[in-house]
Amino acid sequence: MKKNNLVYLAQLFLAATFIFSAYSKIVDIGLFELIIINQGLVGDRANAAVIARLVVGLEFAIGLLLIQRYFIKTFVSPLTLVVLGIFSLHLLYLIFIGEDGNCGCFGEMIAMSPLSSLLKNVVLILIVLYVWYYSKQNTTHFWIPILLLILALPSAFIYSPQKTNAKFEFSGYTQFENRGNVDLSVGTNLIAIFNTECDHCQEAAMQIGELKNESKNFPDFYTLFFSEGEITVDSFQTLTNSEFPYVEINSTEFFNLIGNSPPRIYLNENGSTKAKWDDNFVSRIKENFNLEMNE
């Protein structure tokens, strides 16, 4: 095979990697935003949303630039090396602070630790250097890479516009035990407010757990636990034979979220609370979701 063809195959491999990386993030952009916040890059969702879409747009742009054959040596390869270098420095920082969770390089589709992603970047950098060294100088049709940049960079903002859920009271709960990163502002979900010492909460959890086990398409269900006595969350789950992703909350959060007394369940849809239930939980879940029961 001619060297020119090998170089172009290397370009296509790099292009596919960057385009897949952009795609894996944009399909669950909210979760990528949470990863950015959890890594300490920014402290709020609004800034994370901007950074997430800029990263996706940049990766998509590099992927498209690597498909075409113009300005590969003078612009595309150096740009790709700079981006991979910046990503790698951030990964080194995560490794230094002891972070070993999903770094978000391929969103939630392919979970990678910072170390494994750094090794992946080293391989990509070597391939980019090969492309840069052996590619031919071609500085004609300068308008092609410029047009691709103009089209690709804002693509994430167009495909997935930023959402403002400042009034959504559950926007701050993003890390759940037994689940990891969760974007409660996307899709439909149920959020229960339980006190581990509360008999009514224990009864509700037991009934809901039974309903979940009996149904094939039980909705996303999360729990915010307030625990102040002898019964821990683990004890509560064992006692009620239920296990849902959960976060432990303080007394202020708890009393702001319950009604006259616990438990309370919130029905949320795309960052908006549609209903608040204080009783008849099983029947209300059945009424709002077409559950398919196990035979």
Structural domain boundaries in the chain: 3-159, 175-288
User: Rounded to an integer, what distance in angstroms lies between the CA atom of residue 13 and that of residue 1?
Assistant: 16
Closest CA to 222 of 262, 276, 179, 160: 179
Q: How far apart are CA 71 and CA 43, in angstroms?
A: 38
**Long-range contacts at 105-112 (CB < 8 A, ≥ 24 apart):** 105/21, 106/20, 106/21, 106/24, 106/25, 107/24, 107/25, 107/27, 107/28, 107/31, 107/32, 108/24, 108/28, 108/31, 108/181, 109/24, 109/27, 110/24
**Tens-place pLDDT, residues 221-243:** 999 999 877 889 999 999 999 88
**Most confident of the following: 2-11, 169-178, 200-209:** 200-209
Which tokens is 258 given? 């319950």
pLDDT in tens, 58-88: 999 999 999 999 999 999 999 999 999 999 9
Residue type, 37: I
The CATH number that domain 175-288 falls under is 3.40.30.10
248 pLDDT more than 90: yes
Alpha carbons 224 and 251: distance in angstroms, whole number: 11
User: How far is the C-alpha of 58 from the C-alpha of 152, rounded, in Å?
Assistant: 7
For 178, counting Cβ atoms within 10 Å of its Cβ (0-12 exposed, 13-18 middle, 19+ buried), the class is exposed
Indicate the pTM of the whole model.
Answer: 0.71
Tokens for 230? 């002898």
Q: Which range has the worst mean pLDDT, 41-50, 81-90, 154-163, 194-203?
A: 41-50
By three-state DSSP, how is residue 266 classified?
strand
